[in-house]
Amino acid sequence: MSLAQEMAALWGEYLDNREVGPDDDFFALGGNSLIGIKIIERVAQEYGAELSVRDFYLAQTPARVAALVERGRSGT
């Protein structure tokens, strides 16, 4: 499973266990600030990547968040 797919599955857990694809938009799926913060905290715990709320919201899709996580892991 790719990191984008892992992120999509993680989002699905917080979005009423719905199917989420790597290119699905967080806000179109019903995401809100509380859910976003929970996902950001979980990503920090499980993947060791610190995401800002702003970066998370601008990314909007699991695939783009996965790219941010990869960058965070590599320290760039």
Pair 15, 75: CB distance under 8 Å? no
pLDDT value of residue 72: 77
Give the confidence band of 28 by pLDDT, cuts at 50, 70, 90.
very high
Task: Say which CATH number the domain at 21 has.
Answer: 1.10.1200.10
pLDDT value of residue 34: 97
Q: Is the pLDDT of residue 74 over 60?
A: yes
Q: Number of folded domains in the chain?
A: 1
Q: What percent of the chain has pLDDT over 70?
A: 95
Residue found by looking up tokens 């998370």 in the block: 56
CA–CA distance, 12 with 34 (Å, rounded to integer): 15
Provide the residue range defining the domain that includes 8: 3-74
pLDDT value of residue 76: 55
